[in-house]
Structure 1
Amino acid sequence: MRIVVLDDYQRVARGYGPFDALPDADVEVLHEHLDDPDALVAALRGAQVVAAMRERTPFPAALFDRLPDLRLLITTGMANASIDLAAARAHGVTVCGTSLSGSARSSNTAELTWALILAVQRHVTTEDRALRDGRWQTTIGTDLNGATLGVLGLGRLGTQVARIGQAFDMRVIAWSANLTPERAAGAGVEYVDRDELFADSDVLTVHLKLSDRTTGLVGAAELARMKPSAVLINTSRGPIVDRNALVSALTAGTIAGAGLDVYDVEPLPAGDPLRGAPNTVLLPHLGYVTDRTYRVMYQQIVEDIEAWRAGAPLRVLS
């Protein structure tokens, strides 16, 4: 049985995953991202099992057409918008995921969200570079205490981020299409309408799932409603925020800054205009990249393979 593990950028898959426990398995781990469909097909040719890292590698219907040997596709996480599940079923491919239980599912991304908020508001990366260059105290930070935290999407992750904002004695407000005042109040958060969220927030943080409804939800009009002193944080999915509108707002100074962990295309291309946008902290999609998460994900990848081979697949995505 040939198994291919995709996108192991850090070269840690074999250390975290007990692949040696799989008898008669030929396991190949790819360390570079393959965004060319022909190169991807060549790399996966003959593989019965493929393990994909999050949504880095799309699996549309056309790709399944070209992978006749594929029988099991595993994605880290329990949802992957980049996989055409209907096409997988039509081609006889079982799609399984991996999961974390309880608060662990959101704590790593919530923690990174606050790392970005603090880094942007206190100019952490700017001051780090300045100090290494021999300069001292080149910026002035912005207080969080008494400021307004706007949470776009008050689900499990958004609620956790909101609680931390409350610990900083921030006013916390929230809106999403399905949020009600009662649900917001249950989290100790003030419900506002969409326009108020963008107009009142000093820090606006995005915590929505990517869908047709949320793609481009934060566009030029929404950014224009924000205060010139406000910052935008996105640790959810890149396409929720209109990239070109964000670059324009940052360049014009109509918002004060942004902290981003997610992008329209990942890895972020060398020529992407976000790389040159002012007052930004950019991270390479690290929200879920922690030791605990990797231990669970790679262990469950092997469990998924073993269960599938035994005829009783686990964590099957519908």
Structure 2
Amino acid sequence: MLKFLRLLPAPVRGTLAALLLMLNTLVFCWPLFIGALVKALLPFQAARRVINVAMHWSAESWISVNKTWMDGVHPTQWDVQGLEGLDQHHTYLVTSNHQSWVDILVLQYQLNRRAPFLKFFLKRELIWVPVIGLCWWALEFPFMKRFSKEFLHKHPEKRGQDLATTRKACERYKTNPVSVFNFLEGTRFTPGKHQRQASPFRYLLKPKAGGIAFVLDAMGEQLTSLVNVTIHYPQGNPSFWSLLSGQIRQIVVRIEQTPIPREFIGKNYDQDEVYRLAFQQWVNRLWEVKDAQLATLHAEFAPPRD
């Protein structure tokens, strides 16, 4: 539909794509704001369930429009494996390696209407992002305020606040299937961060197990599986402008459903030291496999030629 964009210079493509993204957001934000208002006025479970379905449909339509302009700016070559087996009737815990802001649109592009709508864990400060921050709030994304070990040592009364916030957010997800998403690394991979961490992985930062452990604690029985996504960009980690201007030639995605060990359900990550160690070891094994998979993808997919 928007293939004419490919005929334009990259700066023009990027500018038009950014305008389309902004217009798309301004159009679909209103059903979310109205839905949030109606839910506040009708705080009944049956009403919330119906309104949530309508709001998720609106958000999924926003993603579908984004997919249209993404396809229009450049015919990106996708190599995707593992989508089979996902459906919109089960609740999933989803994670992925994190290299770029583009990762979020890649995940939305591939999982939209194949799995329940993705709900990301977000830093509390992101609620102030114009328009989209309120959209995330209306869609009941969990906003987290993470405290450093040094801060918690000085203010022990704040310990456990993350868990309380996660439980409160996840309580709302029990009426509709949902995909609860968390970047295990907690931040985007950069060579500098990798070096400062002394990460034992070649292509990954150290995983932070606490986030998904809190989700398991809050809604473990509801989760069907862990959906483990690996994203590889053969050209190197792209900027968001690269996506807008159609300069990403190829994206490789591998998706694997992993059973969540039953012994991890119903445990308290903060208070059970034995469980915490076992869970961290499980997450580290997942990351070891992902790092090996990324090494294979780097060897298999050479950067595409012009």
Structure 1 length normalisation: TM-score?
0.27
Kindly indicate which of the two structures has a greater share of residues assigned to helix.
2
How does the TM-score come out when normalised to structure 2? 0.28
* Greater RCO (Cα-Cα under 8 Å, separation 6 or more): 2
